[in-house]
């Protein structure tokens, strides 16, 4: 295996015939190794917010971290659904470890559901690209970032996990902007060959066409698809890395989804070198079975770097290695959000470190 795996939960739930785990909030026990005492958490400023969770900069045993607090919901149905999603997300992001997956630190369920991860200071890939416009990344750098992403996806797929929401907003950067890490397992699912997975809404512009049908799926309806949906999303991300433009520019998200699903429209790759155009067009083919897997994608990217003499490559030497690098066994995981950056595009890290200890509130004082 090119990446490592651990099992943080004791799961008592029965399995469906498809092999997919059923996550019930009362039927899992978090391994004590990953259980965080809320008394050790101190909450700082909010740095991100989604439909069902907020993310804060914080401290955990003197380590600066990202603290994701999940809203519990109002109705019994909502509460049960959120707790099951929490169990599923924590199980997945603490099960695998890789240098290109954001490091999981731990979680707790009481007094509220909390997921703690490393905090990356480089911001999102989306913000990095926006700050560079109208310029573009050097192709060697773009391919280096693509290798980071492909290696993270190869690791997930080797453990039967489909990300389903691969896009620049869910790709975070280290402070030196040399490494990309995959984050956000909110839509991730385990895959089995026969299971029916729900077609929950991701981000349409990056979603694979097979996630749609001739009749628009209602949220929660069942539809067959497999891990090749991530290969399609990867192609759109790689196209964006090379062009630094929004894919399907001039279209709304729904227009882009309709064009891709029903008219087989794709962004133009005609201006790219043949090797890169081949990688992209093979990954976004309409037939999922015709798309390459991520092991093949990695080899194609490496071949491009080898066959194109880059006199002064800007990417670190690590991208020329054919093997994935893994984290030590004591630090598996993924999932985080980035800290807020100021108008200059710089992360105010030094300013945050100079704040007095009282800047962070005790977790239990907040809840």
Give which of 117, 81, 126 is closest to 97, Cα–Cα. 117
Query: Residue 232 and residue 47: Cα distance in Å, rounded?
Result: 30
Q: By the 8 A CB rule, do 283 and 231 touch?
A: yes
106-128 core/surface letters (b: 16 or more CB in 10 A; e: else): bbbbeeebbbbbbbbbbbbbbbb
Handedness of CA 66, 58, 91, 50 (dihedral sign): negative
Who's near 140: CB < 8 A, 6+ residues apart?
Answer: 305, 310, 313, 314, 315
78 three-class SS = helix
34 three-class SS = helix
Question: DSSP characters for 133-150?
Answer: TTS---HHHHHHHHHHHH
Give which of 125, 347, 74 is closest to 241, Cα–Cα. 125
Query: Residue 329 and residue 339: Cα distance in Å, rounded?
Result: 26
Is 148 annotated as catalytic? no
CA distances from 162 to 26, 123, 265 (A): 25, 24, 24
Residue 75, number of CB atoms within 10 A of its CB: 8
Q: Of residues 165, 176, 271, 346, which has the active-site annotation?
A: 165
Catalytic residue annotation: 165
């Amino acid at each position: 295996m090119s990446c490592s795996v651990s099992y943080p939960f004791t799961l008592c739930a029965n399995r469906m015939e498809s092999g997919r785990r059923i996550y019930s909030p009362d039927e899992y026990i978090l391994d004590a190794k990953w259980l965080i005492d809320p008394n050790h958490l101190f909450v700082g400023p909010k740095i991100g917010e989604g439909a069902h969770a907020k993310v804060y900069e914080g401290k955990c045993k003197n380590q600066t971290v990202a603290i994701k607090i999940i809203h519990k919901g109002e109705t019994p149905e909502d509460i049960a659904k959120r707790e099951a999603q929490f169990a599923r997300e924590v199980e997945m992001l603490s099960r695998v470890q890789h240098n290109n997956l954001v490091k999981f630190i731990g979680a707790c369920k009481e007094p509220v559901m909390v997921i703690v991860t490393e905090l990356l200071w480089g911001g999102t890939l989306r913000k990095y690209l926006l700050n560079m416009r109208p310029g573009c990344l050097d192709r060697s750098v773009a391919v280096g970032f693509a290798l980071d992403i492909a290696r993270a996806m190869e690791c997930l797929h080797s453990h039967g996990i489909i990300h389903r929401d691969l896009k620049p907003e869910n790709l975070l950067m280290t402070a030196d902007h040399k490494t990309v890490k995959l984050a956000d397992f909110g839509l991730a699912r385990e895959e089995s060959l026969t299971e029916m997975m729900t077609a929950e809404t991701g981000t349409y512009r990056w979603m694979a066409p097979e996630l749609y049908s001739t009749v628009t799926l209602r949220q929660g309806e069942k539809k067959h698809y497999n891990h090749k949906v991530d290969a399609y999303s990867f192609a759109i991300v790689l196209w964006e890395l090379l062009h630094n433009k929004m894919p399907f520019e001039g279209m709304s998200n729904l227009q882009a989804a309709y064009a891709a699903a029903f008219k087989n429209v794709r962004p133009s790759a005609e201006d790219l070198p043949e090797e890169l155009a081949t990688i992209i067009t093979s990954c976004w083919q309409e037939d999922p079975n015709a798309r390459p897997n991520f092991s093949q994608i990695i080899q194609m990217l490496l071949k491009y770097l080898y066959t194109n003499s880059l006199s002064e490559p800007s990417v670190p030497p690590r991208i020329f290695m054919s093997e994935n690098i893994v984290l030590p066994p004591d630090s598996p995981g993924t999932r985080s959000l980035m800290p807020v950056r100021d108008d200059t595009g710089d992360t105010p890290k030094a300013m945050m470190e100079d704040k007095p200890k009282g800047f962070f509130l005790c977790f239990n004082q907040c809840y």
